[in-house]
Amino acid sequence: MDLNNLWFILITVLFTGFFFLEGFDYGVGILLPFLGKDDTDRRVIINTIGPVWDGNEVWMLTAGGAMFAAFPNWYATLFSGFYLALALMLVALIMRGVAFEFRSKDPRPGWRNFWDWMIFFGSFVPALLWGVALGNLLKGMPIDANMNYTGDFFTLLSPYTLITGVYTVVLATLHGAVFLSMKTDGELAERARKVAWRLWLPTVAMAAITIVASDLSTDMFRKLGVNPGVIPITGLVALLASGWFIRNKHDGWAFASTGVAIAFAIVTVFMTLHPRVMISSTDPAYSLTIYNASSSPYTLSVMTVVALIFVPIVLLYQGWTYYTFRKRITRQSVQA
């Protein structure tokens, strides 16, 4: 395996970890105004992700940094094409981060309600825009011979990309509901479980719609074949199995199943792209690949050494964080 393929795989792993972890993070934020019947409930919900939400976002920053260093042409074309969408996402994420910090600074219900909706906004918008972005990567974007994006913001919005955006929202919300049923107890956990069960069938339906739309709008099935392989099939089976686990209150297994569904969906996207990293809808010959978009072999070699040293350290630290805050959050714990 050459270093170009190695770094494509590493970036795939980073984005997979990001969507798995930030998926339930976004889902919890989306559900916050609806599941929290009173201020104590909402504090419980926020506390389930309080110690980890910012660490989850590090995966996105690391993936972006790896993309910048390993495939600078991919980074430049992608970020220029998605400039306005990324600016909107950044505003949403800033408001979300501020909301986590400011919400408890004032006990007035109006103040806290405002910041709760900002957490919703800061979770819903990125979940939607990430799905739109993945749809554009699969569908292709107008890119010229000089690797320049030639469209505008509205070029990114098509029926197919909006379908993929809606799918990521409902899948993240399902993932978040299952996470809450696993991390809370009592009436709140039961409400989260009921919401997860109600979301399961619409999520499966959106998965089916997305699969059909992908067949019509992208070369996914022409590239992967009639039998797309064990990863896409396992991801779909995991999504279907999550319904049984939710119904039978196996919260841990349900969370693992929705997590596998998200992770394997992201891997499937990158499997479809490889060896391309951005598809040109102007001319397939203008597509960016892991070779024409990459840094020099020396740069990739240095990055590989650095990654081998620091990635395990980051994984150990984040694993320790999740282990430390593994217990369920109760109403009594936030009232203490």
Alpha-carbon separation of residue 333 from 112, 119, 300, 329 (angstroms): 19, 22, 48, 7
219-256 pLDDT, tens digit each: 988 888 777 889 999 999 999 999 999 999 999 999 99
- Kindly report the number of other CB atoms within 10 A of residue 22's CB atom: 25
Alpha-carbon separation of residue 132 from 138, 156, 194, 211, 262 (angstroms): 10, 7, 28, 15, 15
Angle made by CA atoms 309, 314, 315, in degrees to the nearest 5:
105
Predicted TM-score (pTM) of this structure: 0.94
β-bridge pairing 288-289 and 276-278: antiparallel
Give Cα 329 to chain centroid, integer Å.
24
- For the chain, the domains span 3-335
78-120 pLDDT, tens digit each: 999 999 999 999 999 999 999 999 998 888 999 999 999 999 9
The residue among 51 and 238 whose pLDDT is bigger is: 238
Angle made by CA atoms 3, 5, 6, in degrees to the nearest 5:
60
204-223 pLDDT, tens digit each: 999 999 999 999 999 988 88
Contact, 118 vs 97, CB < 8 A?
A: no
Measured distance CA(264)–CA(153) in Å, rounded = 28
Measured distance CA(257)–CA(259) in Å, rounded = 5
115-155 pLDDT, tens digit each: 999 999 999 999 999 999 999 999 999 999 999 999 998 99
Instruction: State the DSSP string of 283-297.
Output: -GGG-EETTTT---H
User: What's the sign of the alpha-carbon dihedral 72, 76, 82, 87?
Assistant: positive
